[in-house]
Amino acid sequence: METIRKWIDESDVYMLILGGRYGSIEEESGLSYTELEYRYALSKNMPVISIVLDDSFLFTKAASSSKNKIFEKDNIDKYETFKSFVMSKIVKPINNIESIKTFIHSNINDIQNNEEYNLVGWVKGNTLNNDPELTYRIKILENLNRNLRSQIASPNNKILGNFTVSELVSILSSVDICNILIGPMIDYDMDQILEFLKWEPYRPNALDLFYALCSFLSLGIPNNFFNINKHNVVVLTITLESASVLINCGLIKFVDIETLELTDNGKKLYAQLLSDNYSPSVNLLPSLIKLAELHK
């Protein structure tokens, strides 16, 4: 019993697999060592996993082996009393050997995630204080892990296709599209062009354009502005010129040779920008509306 208590004291979890036998008797108590160790584990308030092999499993086992090896014959009353005591706790009846592994894995995970238990682990955590360098490295890793979990939970780290939201914002913000916007206006006089350039001295980027195009669509001016028609060919020209970066980022796609549309990721990015109260460096929406009006 001294050895049994030492092993249990050094363990994080106690597991009982109860078959059809009661086990060897400890003379002083008259109870089996199995029952004594089970009761000792309970007294320690440590996590206990109990598995009871049901009768169908035991009878199947007995059919291919000696019945006396499977079922208790000397201490039947003690066995039944112990079994009833075990069954009064949280227990899993098992009727096939494969279920044992699954049940153990499931319960171990639950126990690991339960803050009620102060698990030490295979390498005793309370021995690490003797190694200051290792303790310091563990502290750094814990802080890094905490920061990474916080970043993952951030809306800006949602994965949209091959990029996170923050990566898409960074990529699109770095693409200067000033010349793309001025290009379609060469047919207008300088006064009209200057009217469009109210956003100077800032130079619009692809994120500004993406935000403006989505806003343009949401206003319904026109409802199908990604389609080629007489009302929006200039807006579409702008879109096509910047389409490479938007398509590569998975935000717009060609439906057919004449039609572009927002992808699901494009819609999600726009929704996230709205949620984050994104403010474009240049408000291009009035310019797009004016372009469409001038082209009618």
CB atoms within 10 A of CB 172: 22
CB atoms within 10 A of CB 175: 19
**Cα separation of 275 and 269, whole Å?**
10
Tell me which H or E stretch contains 190. Answer: helix 190-196
Q: What percent of the chain has pLDDT over 90?
A: 12
Q: Which of 55-59, 143-147, 200-204, 223-227 has maximum average pLDDT?
A: 55-59
pTM greater than the 0.85 cutoff:
no
The 10s digit of each residue's pLDDT in 196-215 is 556 556 677 888 888 887 87
For residue 92, give the DSSP letter: E
The 10s digit of each residue's pLDDT in 229-256 is 444 555 555 655 566 777 788 887 776 6
CB atoms within 10 A of CB 282: 21
